[in-house]
Structure formats: structure tokens, C-alpha cells
């Protein structure tokens, strides 16, 4: 991934979010029931980007992000457990539900962070984590989120920011099941474990360097 090119694309994206007619290659889904906007001051974004331990730690760093919850969404089994999701039999993805203040951080910036936080060209995997539960997906909550996501994906593909096609799914947000308590704030509570040191820490440090201007003070 060319990070410099990603920022160039973002500038164009912010200037042209009203552009229409740019649709990524995604499966056919029904977006007709999406609300036009979120009336509350705080807004919600839901992303799947591989292991939620990693993405939770990354998004918690950003100014304007009020809370990040690790959980499961996009499947058919009610109240799934971690073991069930890991089996790949529930249809769920490991995901993060991000509560943010749009007056401080925009959905546009969160989209940018999403594509930096993981490799959106890997199908049903991230590195050594393999399975549909590790798929790349954006679960849109509103028509505005859908329009921005579609345009941003189209711009990334047009500018060939990635060397391979983006495989990120774009689907309407459905019920989100918070993961078990021991998954929440995992990196902060278990930072000395090998997985945290070898996998999460390097990704987090890179993420903080790229988004240094919008990282929370003291982080």
C-alpha cells in the first residue's frame, strides 16, 4: 500500500463527496432502509478489519473517538460466542463498533484510518488469521456513510493505491453483538503477551505515526 497516495486520494475524496455514480465491486445488498442521517450528536461506525484486538487498539488512539467495542456482526447466529465465530459457522465477522463525535473527527477520517489499519486486498484473512470471520467489511449505518464509502472505494481503485483489487464488503449495519468481556480493551490489559508485542504493537506504532496529528494527547 502506498500511504502517500492514500492521503492524496483522501484530499480529493473530501472535496468531492457529493459525486455520484462511483460504485465498488461488492455483492448486491438492500440499502433501501438506511436512515438519511443520525440525529444524535454522537455517531457510529462499524468496521471489520481482521482481529478486533488490533483494530480496537488503533481506533482508540484517535481524537473524537469516544468508545470502541469489539464484537461480532454480519452473521445469522444469535448471541454468538467467540468459539462459534472462530469456527466460521456463524457468518459473523470480528468487528469494532466505534462511537465518535463528528464535530471532532469525521467519518471520512475514520474511513482513511480503516484502510490504513489493515490490508483490504486480503480475502477472508489478515496475515496468519484466516477465515471469513477475519474478512474486510464496512457496515454502513446511514445513506451518507454509504455514499462516502462508495466514493472512497472507487477513488482508491481508480488511483491504484493498492497493488491488488480491494475486496472490502459494503453492507448495511445489522445487530452488533459485543464480544466477551476479556476481549474488550485487550491490548491495554494484555500488552506484554507475545501476540500483543509481535503483532499488535508494530501495527499500532505505525498507525500512530501516520495519524500523529489526530492522536489523543498522552497516548
Residues designated catalytic: 51
Give a three-class secondary structure readout of the chain: CCHHHHHHHHHHHHHCCCCCCCCCCCCCCCCCCCCCCCCCCCEEEEEEECCHHHHHHHHCCECCEEEEEEEEECCCCCCCCHHHHHHCCCCCEEEEEEEECCCCCCHHHHHHHHHHHCCCCCCCEECCEECHHHCEEEEECCHHHHHHHHHHHHHHHHCCCCCCCCCCEEEECCCEEECCHHHCCHHHHHCCCHHHHHHHHHHHHHHHHHCHHHECCCC
Amino acid at each position: 500500500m502506498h500511504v502517500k497516495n492514500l492521503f492524496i486520494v483522501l484530499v480529493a475524496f473530501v472535496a468531492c463527496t457529493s459525486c455520484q455514480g462511483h460504485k465498488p465491486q461488492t455483492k448486491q445488498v438492500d440499502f433501501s432502509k438506511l436512515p438519511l442521517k443520525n440525529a444524535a450528536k454522537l455517531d457510529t461506525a462499524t468496521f471489520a478489519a481482521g482481529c478486533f484486538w488490533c483494530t480496537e487498539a488503533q481506533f482508540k488512539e484517535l481524537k473524537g473517538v469516544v468508545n470502541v467495542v469489539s464484537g461480532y456482526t454480519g452473521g445469522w447466529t444469535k448471541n454468538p460466542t467467540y468459539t462459534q465465530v472462530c469456527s466460521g459457522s456463524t457468518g459473523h465477522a470480528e468487528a469494532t463498533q466505534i462511537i465518535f463525535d463528528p464535530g471532532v473527527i469525521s467519518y471520512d477520517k475514520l474511513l482513511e484510518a480503516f484502510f490504513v489499519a489493515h490490508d483490504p486486498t486480503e480475502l477472508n484473512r489478515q496475515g496468519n488469521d484466516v477465515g471469513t470471520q477475519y474478512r474486510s467489511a464496512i457496515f454502513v449505518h446511514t445513506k451518507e456513510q454509504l455514499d462516502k464509502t462508495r466514493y472512497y472505494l472507487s477513488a482508491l481503485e481508480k488511483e491504484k493505491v493498492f497493488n491488488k483489487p480491494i475486496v472490502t464488503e459494503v453492507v448495511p449495519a445489522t445487530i452488533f453483538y459485543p464480544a466477551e468481556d476479556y476481549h474488550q480493551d485487550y491490548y491495554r490489559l494484555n500488552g506484554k503477551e507475545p501476540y500483543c508485542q509481535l503483532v499488535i504493537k508494530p501495527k499500532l506504532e505505525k498507525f500512530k505515526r501516520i495519524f500523529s496529528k489526530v492522536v489523543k494527547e498522552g497516548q
